[in-house]
Structure 1
């Protein structure tokens, strides 16, 4: 873990301006500057750094950060839980330790063949932990939503949990992702319904809110050529909105890496390879398992293959047109004109 942390710091120092990252420098699921020290400490069996990190997100109402950090800490605890066990023993009522513990419980059951039965048994415990977290924190309710989805809860039960989450934070990204995935699981043909939900949430959110990228996540439900054709214009709009959101973050920013990896995935599906190449530059050396793990057991390899294909297509376009640089005309939906636009 310490070696990975040092590699991340070195890569960040080399990535102050957008430039292609060599394959050997690419990092999978690298932590940001706030999470990395907590993970290093946890690897030593110490929980104070994680406790301080999560307490800060709770006190400052940084719900999207809190959600992501709790998820990463719980994932780490699946293989190294000593630090969490010590934390829970020392502070059994600590809401941050409880958040990581219940997230870990959901993670451990998720991959089981008996997932629905196991999660059905723990949903009351997860909901009780969310209720104990108080009237403002939506993140435990996102965990409850995930547990209910895995347990195949009925619509009425899921909606009850959803109301609790959005009452606390109407624009929390994680809660919206959980609801979106519940809709997608309810019907394999729910592309339009998922896009409707995501677009409404994005339109109502502040300009800098991460939930503005929710339609990009909904685009993943369009996995067939027919679905892509049926919703092509809406998917372009989702990608354009996410490009605007990406531009608000620095280049080579680990926090923005998941947004940019997802954006590259969707842009490639839309055959917007020039825009995908621009996002690859902004991503720098940071690769996230999601969304590449949806299509392969080797997300890093999947990313590298897509990146190589995008670069090859850019080279072919430059050879054919002699106009690889900026300045090409743009289409009405905000992207550059492409053969498939008309």
Structure 2
């Protein structure tokens, strides 16, 4: 963590655009949460008040069983509806029983509830919306990811959470979003511990193909540990193994692939925190222009600025810091503890 602070401190002293010589896109070319080619037209149309392309996109993911894409698109469409909702209100009014509209509606209500000081009370009130979304398509695991996020927000006990988890895995054994929601519930700041978190993440990753997003679950456990201010110590070897697993996952995707942007942003943060600068720089090259809000919004109201600060620091760090001893001690964790935002995946 000391290296991370030093990098950010140095770059705040001199904010300049990245020079093309370092191989990274210039700062003004980096985009935050840029949509992929399928989502972009739907957002543009929604901005003009037309819900049709968004409805068609989600219907296509549901019919094809593209659950990972569906989860990402639902999250992004709900976020867009928070700031511009004319198109979404028209969609709900036109087809009130549309399972895709019901899912976006539930995601939107849960996200709003999580950000309110009266979180638990508001989330209890939106329970019927979550239940309605879950009834939309019996094959779809995404409503159950929303239900798991909702359950954590209302402090559901283990028995209630396990019932929801069984429903989720019955629909998709390897859905990343549902596993990330369960991982959050098992974290030390909620209802579990760092050990439980790592055990769950490592077991789930072991049971999936090398190219699956599930390979990033131990990385999320490492992030939870490194940003938690207390709890039992996790070995450096376990943290490095989590990072290495995600490095292997990253290597299976093309550079600047929007599908892996969030994993690579999270991986860059963890690698810098572990003082593995060369590996972090490699991931920054693979990220290209695709910055994501998570994990940077955990530490700043300006996630893009935070990402660019770290990127400048890593690309300019002296060669003396390029090699990290293999027996490096476990790094101290940040002082920032507390409950994480609901959508950090």
Scaled by the length of structure 1, the TM-score of the pair is 0.85
**1: distance between equivalents of 2:231 and 2:275?**
15
Q: Give the aligned partner of residue 118 of structure 1.
A: 122
1:192 aligns with 2:195: yes
1:19·1:284 contact (CA, 8 Å) conserved in 2?
A: no
Contact 2:194 2:232 (8 Å CA) reproduced: no
Task: Pick from 214, 217, 222 the counterpart of residue 214 of structure 1.
Answer: 217
Q: Is contact 2:264–2:283 with CA below 8 Å preserved after alignment? A: yes
Instruction: Work out which of the residue numbers 127, 139, 144 in structure 1 matches 2:131.
Output: 127
Query: Paired residue for 2:287?
Result: 283
Q: Name the residue aligned to 1:203.
A: 206
Partner residue of 1:86 out of 78, 84, 90:
90
- Contact 1:180 1:218 (C-alpha < 8 Å) held by counterparts: yes
Q: Distance in 2 between matches of 1:76 and 1:101?
A: 12
1:208-234: CA deviations, max 9, x gaps?
211111111111121368879632111
Q: Does 1:339 align with 2:325?
A: yes
Asked if 1:136 corresponds to 2:139, the answer is yes
Indicate if the aligned counterparts of 2:33 and 2:293 stay in contact, CA closer than 8 A: yes
The count of aligned residue pairs is 306
Name the CA shift for 1:155/1:188 in 2 (closer, same or farther; >3 Å): closer
Measured after TM superposition, the shift of residue 304 of structure 1 is 1.1
Task: After TM superposition, give the deviation of residue 49 of structure 1 in Å.
Answer: 0.7
Per-residue CA distance 1:113-132 (angstroms, 9 max, x = gap): 101111112224312320x1
Distance 1:229 1:312 in 2: 31
CA–CA distance in structure 1, aligned partners of residues 233 and 265 of structure 2: 22
Root-mean-square deviation (CA, aligned residues, Å) is 2.0
Measured against aligned partners, the alpha-carbon deviations of 1:310-341 in whole angstroms (never above 9, x if no partner) come to 1122xx11xx59xx8xxxxxxxxxxxx62253
Counterpart Cα distance in 2 of 1:187 and 1:108: 20
Higher RCO (CA 8 Å, separation ≥ 6 residues): 2
Is the 8 Å Cα contact of residues 184 and 190 (structure 2) preserved in structure 1? no
* Structure 2 alignment gaps of length 5 or more: 1-21, 329-345
Indicate conservation of the 8 Å contact 2:195/2:234, yes or no. Answer: no
TM-score in terms of structure 2 length = 0.84
Distance 1:187 1:134, change over 3 A: closer
CA spacing shift, 1:68–1:228, aligned 2, 3 Å: farther
Which secondary structure does the structure 2 equivalent of 1:230 belong to? Answer: coil
Give the SS at the match of 1:153: coil
Alpha-carbon spacing, 1:143–1:188, altered in 2? closer, same or farther (3 Å): closer
Measured after TM superposition, the shift of residue 93 of structure 1 is 1.4
SS of the counterpart of 2:77? Answer: helix
- In the aligned structure 1, how far is the partner of 2:233 from the partner of 2:314? 21
Task: Show CA shifts across 1:168-196 (max 9, x none).
Answer: 00110110111111111655871111111
Choose between structure 1 and 2: higher helix proportion: 1
Is 1:266–2:270 an aligned residue pair? yes
Question: Which residue is equivalent to 1:150?
Answer: 153
Unaligned runs of 5+ in 1: 1-17, 325-336
Using the alignment, how far apart are the partners of 2:163 and 2:23 within structure 1?
Answer: 47
